[in-house]
Each structure stands twice: as structure tokens, then as C-alpha cells.
Structure 1
Amino acid sequence: MIKIKYSFLLLISFFSSCSSIKCNDFKKGSFIVPSDTEGTTPYRIIRNDTLQTEIDSEGTKRYSKLKWINDCSYTIFYDGNKKPLTDFQKEVNNVGGIIVKVTKIEGNCFYYTSNIKGDPPSKRIDGVMCKE
């Protein structure tokens, strides 16, 4: 009887862990960023693991390359091959990009912190990104 109870508990824990969302689930797809601590307007992100397109509320597109540090952290570099970079975007790339770390996952959303690399690093920006 005890073996049956342990087997049942093991199965329940296995299936519950299989259905939970992990950082890897946010590497590809379409996402909405409703806002961040900088007060930006909502924007959309389309991502395919190493490339990302951001589309703001006015339809302006920004193209980026992602370099994954681990499953829950990545660096963003602006892509000058698709559109000329602003001076700010060039400077971000020159200092090593923007480091983004997933801090929490809830439902279809993840919460993150981000900093521009450099000496000294930029102030931290917190936000949330939700899978569409």
C-alpha cells in the first residue's frame, strides 16, 4: 500500500512539473511588454531564439540579436544590419549590450530586470513580458 502511495505521489509531481512554464518557453514566440519601470508604452516583441523584433505602439520597429547566457538570462545587442542604429544603440552595443535576467515566472508572463553593461552599469529597469 505504501508503494502505491509513493508511486502515485511521484506521478503527480512528474506531471505537475511537466506542465509548468520554464524560461525556455520564452525564447520563441510573440510577446507583449505592457510597461516597465521607465514608464514605456506597451510594445510587442516577436522572437525566434536569437533574433528579436520590437514593435512599439506607433509601429516603429527595432531589431536586436540575443545571446543567451543561460536559460534565464540573455544579452541584447541592437542589429545594425536591418536598420541604421542611433547613437544610443551604438553605445549600448559598444559597452556589451543589455543584460536581461528573468526574476520570476507567473502564468504566461515573466518578470525581468535589465541593465546596460558598462562602467558603471546603468540603473536597473524592471518589467514584465507576457506570451501572446
Structure 2
Amino acid sequence: MMKQLILGALLISFGACNEPPQRNCSNFKTGNFSFTSTINGQEQTSTFSRTLEMEVDHFEGKQDTSSVRWINDCEYVLKNINPKSKAEEKSIHIKILTTSDSSYTFEYNAIGDKRKFKGTAYKIH
């Protein structure tokens, strides 16, 4: 019985050491970033620059500009300023899940779409 109590206490103390994921979202509200995703089985990298109100994305030699509306420190909505198709008209909701010194992991989806995707963006210094 005593062994079980000691073992239980040790397990609880180890579990208590787990810190919640770091979320210093304000460090990533502005800056230059890169993001790599897999499209049709191939890795594709885009870069983007973000201010508090605007995000400019560079992908395959093309540039897109979106307005940025911050919901809170860790969530924002992107709306393409000059959409060229119906798909580009949909706003994108982005939620920062965790941060590190140089990157953040996020979840994103088109507003109205239940499918969510995850990615990691790296700050370019």
C-alpha cells in the first residue's frame, strides 16, 4: 500500500512539472516570415511580411495583399484585398497555438469551412 502511495505521489509530481505550451503571440504580430506547406505532394515555401493591419504574401513569383484584423493577441483574420477568384474571397481565420523564440505553430481555416489545417511559420531576421 505504501509503495502505491509513493508511486502515485511521484507520478503526480512529474505531471505537475509539465508547463503549458509557450504562447508569446505578441512577438509574432509583425515581421517577416516563411511558411512551408505540402501542395500536391511537393513542399512549397512562401514568405510574407506582416504589419498590424496588412500582410503581403510572396508565393511562386506572385504577390497577394490581405488586410489583418486581430481578434485577440493570438487570433486574427486575413481578407484578400484584390481577390481573383471565389476561393480568394473567403477570409482566413488563423489561431496561434504555440510559440518559440523564432517560430509559431498555428491552426487555420477558411471562415465557414470546418476543415482546419496546421502549420509553422518561422520569423526571418
Q: TM-score range by the shorter chain?
A: 0.7 to 0.9
CA–CA distance in structure 2, aligned partners of residues 54 and 63 of structure 1:
6
CA–CA distance in structure 2, aligned partners of residues 126 and 37 of structure 1:
14
Per-residue CA shift, 1:4-49, capped at 9, x if unaligned?
A: xxxxxxxxxxxxxxxx882111111110112268865110011111
Q: Point out where structure 1 has 5 or more consecutive residues left out of the alignment.
A: 1-19
Report the TM-score when normalising by structure 1. 0.69
| Corresponding position of 2:70 | 68
Q: Point out where structure 2 has 5 or more consecutive residues left out of the alignment.
A: 1-21
Q: After superposition, where does 1:20-59 map in structure 2 within 5 Å?
A: 22-35=24-37, 41-56=44-59, 58-59=60-61
Query: How big is the shift at 1:87?
Result: 2.1
Change in Cα spacing, 1:107 to 1:66, as seen in structure 2 (3 Å) is: same
How many residues align? The count is 102
CA–CA distance in structure 1, aligned partners of residues 51 and 116 of structure 2:
25
SS of residue matched to 2:34: strand
CA–CA distance in structure 1, aligned partners of residues 63 and 48 of structure 2:
10
Structure exhibiting the larger radius of gyration computed from Cα positions:
2
- Give 1:53's aligned amino acid: V
Percent same amino acid among aligned pairs?
A: 24
Higher strand share: 2
- Give 1:79's aligned amino acid: I
| Corresponding position of 2:120 | 128
Change in Cα spacing, 1:112 to 1:42, as seen in structure 2 (3 Å) is: same
Matched-pair contact (CA < 8 Å) for 1:43–1:55: yes
- Which of the residues 57, 71, 95 maps onto 1:101? 95
| Corresponding position of 1:8 | none
CA RMSD of aligned residues (A): 2.2
Per-residue CA shift, 1:35-84, capped at 9, x if unaligned?
A: 2688651100111111001101x21111111100000000110012xxx5
